[in-house]
Structure 1
Amino acid sequence: MFVLELTYTAPLDAVNALHADHMAWLGEQFEKGFFLASGRKNPRDGGVILAVAEDRARIEEIVAADPYTVGEVCAYRITEFTATTTVPELARYRQTPN
């Protein structure tokens, strides 16, 4: 499982100009099953996404296609973790540590 932390690197007007495209991209990732949750940070200087994929390389590929990345208005920090405990609704994502 991955935590994707976005930090805006451009003024909010530049971020807002790409917001509709970013939201459409988010929707596609939810439909494909890669994203489990997403939202803005408070204060609004970026966002957070909870994601799943077969490996980090796939996550990096997905992030590279974000209109915010393409438009150079944010930077991503990708943190991989082993989800050993979850709420029942996320049980299928539980992992056993190596």
Structure 2
Amino acid sequence: MKNLFVILVTYTQNIEVIDKILPSHREYLQKGYESGRLLVSGPQNPRVGGVIIGCFADKEEAKAFTQKDPFFLKNAANYEVLEFNPILHHHSLKEFLNAPNGCN
């Protein structure tokens, strides 16, 4: 089982700019789900950024993923990538953590 990554997204533009980019950002994330890389994502509360949790080969691949995000491409967010080892997890995550396209 490979490590998981938590990507903390912090907006650097006002929420009106973020809302204009949001549809393309979500389309980009959807590709991550389709490839088996992403587990969950969503906005922080309060809405100052977002959180993305997924599986990547290594921290460099996770960073490369962020650099193709429309928020990054439009200078609307900063990213912090945290890596961790999912030793304990809910049984429902077993399939994701062992998927051939994801965390395998």
Partner of 1:80: 83
The C-alpha deviation readout for 1:50-82, integer Å capped at 9, x for no partner, is 110111111111110000000010100100001
2:33 to 30, 34, 41: 30
2:16 to 9, 13, 17: 13
Q: Report the RMSD for the aligned CA atoms in angstroms.
A: 1.1
1:64 aligns with 2:62: no
Higher relative contact order (CA 8 A, sep 6+): 2
2:52 to 49, 54, 62: 49
Tell me, in whole angstroms, the C-alpha distance in 2 between the residues paired with 1:29 and 1:87: 22
Unmatched 5+ residue regions in structure 1? none
Unmatched 5+ residue regions in structure 2? 99-104
Question: TM-score scaled by structure 2?
Answer: 0.86
Q: Which amino acid aligns with 1:74?
A: A
Question: TM-score scaled by structure 1?
Answer: 0.91
Q: Which amino acid aligns with 1:76?
A: Y
Deviating above 6 A after TM superposition, structure 1's stretches of 4 or more consecutive aligned residues are: none
Partner of 2:102: none
State the shift of 1:89 in Å.
Answer: 1.4
Identity %: 28
